[in-house]
Amino acid sequence: MFNLTQTLLIVVVIVLSVILSIVGIQVFFILREVQRSIQKVNKMLDDAGTISESIAKPISSLSGTITGASGAAGVLGWLLNRKKKQEEEKNE
């Protein structure tokens, strides 16, 4: 039959198997929560990208408008200078 050492060894193996099974199940739940957290962070980053794009478009349009106005001001300045030079030439 079994002596005390063999019985004790069988009990220890069973207890360790049960403990390792419980730890494995807990690790599975932890990894599942990590996956959900990563998905939430990914969604937040996607939303942040969308928000930054929606902010960048009007700013770039404003920049284009300012550049266009600057160009128009340059043309008007050139025309006024040209007109002044023509008037000065007439006066001379």
pLDDT digits (tens, 9 = 90+) for 15-35: 999 999 999 999 999 999 999
Q: What residues contact residue 10 under an 8 Å CB cut-off, 6+ apart?
A: 2
User: How confident is the model at residue 7, as a pLDDT?
Assistant: 93
If DSSP states are collapsed to H, E and C, what string results for 9-26? HHHHHHHHHHHHHHHHHH
User: How confident is the model at residue 80, as a pLDDT?
Assistant: 79
Q: pLDDT tens digit string along 43-91?
A: 999 988 888 888 777 777 777 777 777 777 777 777 778 777 777 777 7
Look at 73 and 9; give whichever has higher pLDDT: 9
Q: What residues contact residue 19 under an 8 Å CB cut-off, 6+ apart?
A: none
User: How confident is the model at residue 92, as a pLDDT?
Assistant: 65
User: How confident is the model at residue 42, as a pLDDT?
Assistant: 95
Look at 41 and 52; give whichever has higher pLDDT: 41
